[in-house]
Amino acid sequence: MPESGLLEPLIRSADNALRALFAPARASRALDLPPAAELDDSERRHVAGLMRVNHAGEIAAQALYHGQALVSRSAATRDFLLRAAAEEGDHLAWCERRLHEMGAQTSLLNPLWYAGSFAIGALAAAVGDAVSLGFVRETERQVEGHLDSHLEQLPPQDARSRRILEQMKADEVGHAEAAAAAGAAALPGPVRALMRATSRIMTRTAYWI
C-alpha cells in the first residue's frame, strides 16, 4: 500500500482514539429515559461502579472495532465494524451522562483499556475477517452476560439506569447476530476463556478506578 494510503487510516485511528478518550461523548440516537430516582449513598456508589464498568467496556468496544476496521481486509466487514462502533458510541454517551448525573467519574484507566483492546482488535483482523467477526460475536455475547448481571444488581427504583442497560443489551444482541450472519468463525475454547479472564480483570478494576 502506498505511504499516503496507509497514513490516512492511521490518522483516522488516532482521531478516533482521541475522541473516544478525551472528547465529551455524544449519542446519535435519543433515548427516552425516565426521571432519576432517589438513591441512598450506598446505592449511588454501587450504581456508579456498575456504570463505570459499562463505560469502560464501551471504551474497549470502540477500540476493538477501530482496531479491527483498520486492518480489515474487506470493505463490507470494515463498514459493519464502523456501524457497530457508532452504536457503541451511543452507549458510551449514555453511560457517561449517567455517571455525571451521579457525580461520579469515568475509569482513570480508560487509556489502558483502549490501547489493549485496539491491539487485540487489530491482531484478530490480521488473521482474517471471519476471525475478526468471531471476536465481535464472542465479545457481544460476553457483554450481554455482564449486562444481565448488572440489571439484576440495580436498585429496583433505578429505572433510568435500567433503561440504558436494556437498550445496550438489545444492541449487543443485534451486533452478535449480525456478525454471525456475516460469517463469524467460532473461536477456540482457550481464546474464549482468555477473553473472559481479561474481561474480569477490567470489570473488577474499573468498578473502583
Report DSSP letters for 50-90, one per residue: HHHHHHHHHHHHHHHHHHHHHH-SSHHHHHHHHHHHHHHHH
Assign domain 44-206 to its CATH architecture. Answer: Up-down Bundle (1.20)
Q: What is the DSSP-derived secondary structure letter of residue 90?
A: H
Cα–Cα distance list, 9 to 56, 110, 178, 191 (Å): 24, 22, 24, 28
Distance CA 168, CA 173 (A): 9
Q: What is the largest CA-CA distance in the chain?
A: 59
pTM exceeding 0.75 = yes
**How many residues would you count in the chain?**
209
For the stretch 114-158, pLDDT in tens is 898 898 888 888 888 998 899 889 989 999 999 999 999 999 999
For the stretch 32-77, pLDDT in tens is 899 999 999 999 999 999 999 999 998 998 888 889 888 888 888 8
